[in-house]
Amino acid sequence: MNVRIDDTDRKILAELQRDASQSLDDIARQVGSSKTPVWNRIRKLREAGVIGQQTVMLDAEALGFEACFFVLIRTSEHEAEWQRKFLKALQDRPEVQEAHRLAGDIDYILKVRVRNARAYDAFYQALISEVRVHNVTALLSMEEIKSTVALPL
């Protein structure tokens, strides 16, 4: 699963991150190469899983998703069975955009994007009825200052 990635690969990845809709010729010009070699590199990076899904960023507010919460979760349960159920619950809920297992005294953090505060409450009630959690703190976002998925290559 490991791939050797050289400087040209990195430039190609940076360009794809910036704008995945541009043509091979454009990318080739910007990395100082030409179509075929760039195409071969992209194919290899895709097969290696370095390049994943190709998607578009949508304006959440324009589409009515006006509330974003970060949810800090502490739990006293650490058995495999509980964790399996908890993970499945998160995967199944589309309003959960991110979920991380943490080091330290907070066990999990979620990023939850919903239409409004009521929708968050519905999510919260559903979650705690599915799995036991010891302590939940919700942080409400007032303003998205910055949002990117780009890695600083």
Q: Is residue 47 a contact residue for DNA (CB under 7 A)? A: no
Distance, CA of 77 to CA of 133 (rounded, Å): 8
Distance, CA of 98 to CA of 73 (rounded, Å): 13
Residue with Cβ nearer its own copies (128 or 153): 153
Residue 35 φ then ψ, to 5°: -40, -65
Q: Is residue 98 a contact residue for its own copies (CB under 8 A)? A: yes
Give the nearest distance from C-beta 1 to DNA in angstroms: 18
In this structure, the chain runs to a length of: 153
Distance, CA of 33 to CA of 49 (rounded, Å): 23
Residue with Cβ nearer DNA (36 or 137): 36
74 in Cβ contact with 135 (< 8 Å): yes
What binding mask, one character per residue, do residues 53-92 give for its own copies by CB under 8 A, x or -? Answer: xxxxxxxx-xx-x--x-x----------------x--xx-
Residues at the interface with DNA (CB under 7 A)? 8, 22-26, 33-37, 39-41, 43
